[in-house]
Amino acid sequence: MNVQEIIERIRSYVVEEFLYARRDAEVGADDHLMAKGVIDSMGVVELLEFIQEEYEITIADDEITEENLGTLSAIANFVLMKRDAVGSSA
């Protein structure tokens, strides 16, 4: 699993769930999802659940930040970091 694979998977989820009426809309890897209006506060909660279930990671309260979850790139790097941490503690 690499950054690009995660980006594509999250992008696919975001388009399916939040942009279903605008399938031709483009979500760049570094687009800020909330600022661009792709997701709102409810969307953050749903995205959080998807990421945790999809990648079998637990996201702590203080990790729910724009820095970690604000863009597709940020999410991908955050997921890899979390999975590496799980792997190295196994």
Residues that bind another protein (CB under 8 A): 34, 37, 40-42, 44-46, 48-49, 61-62, 64-67, 69
Cβ proximity to another protein, 24 vs 62, nearer residue: 62
Cβ proximity to another protein, 27 vs 69, nearer residue: 69
Closest approach of another protein to the CB of residue 73, in Å: 17
Cβ proximity to another protein, 58 vs 89, nearer residue: 58
Joined tokens for residue 21 = 């009426």
Q: In Å, what is the CA distance from 17 to each residue of 28, 86, 87?
A: 16, 28, 30
Closest approach of another protein to the CB of residue 61, in Å: 6
Closest approach of another protein to the CB of residue 49, in Å: 6
List all residues 6 or more positions away from 72 whose beta carbon is below 8 Å from its beta carbon: 7, 10, 11, 14, 27, 28, 29, 30, 31, 33
Nearest to 13 by CA among 50, 59, 61, 55: 50
